[in-house]
Amino acid sequence: MTFTPMKDLKGYMTPEQCRKVVESADTGRDRTLLQLLWRTGARISEVLELTVDNFVYSERILVIRTLKRRKKKGKEVIKMRRIPIDQETADILHDYIKKNGLKEGIVFVGSGKLGHITRQTAWYIVRKCGKKCGIEKVGDKGIHPHHMRHSYAVEWIKTYGEKEIRKLQMILGHSSVTTTYEYLQFGPFELRDKFDGMIKGED
Q: Which residues contact 65 (CB under 8 A, 6 or more apart)?
A: 46, 49, 54, 78, 79, 80
Of all residues in the chain, the percent with pLDDT exceeding 70 is 81
pTM (predicted TM-score): 0.84
Mean pLDDT of 163-181: 92
| Rounded CA separation 196/18 (Å) | 30
Residues 169 and 131: their CA atoms lie apart, in Å, by: 31
pLDDT tens-digit profile of 74-119? 677 778 999 999 999 999 999 999 999 999 999 998 766 667 899 9
Which domains does the chain show, CATH number per domain? Answer: 15-200 (1.10.443.10)
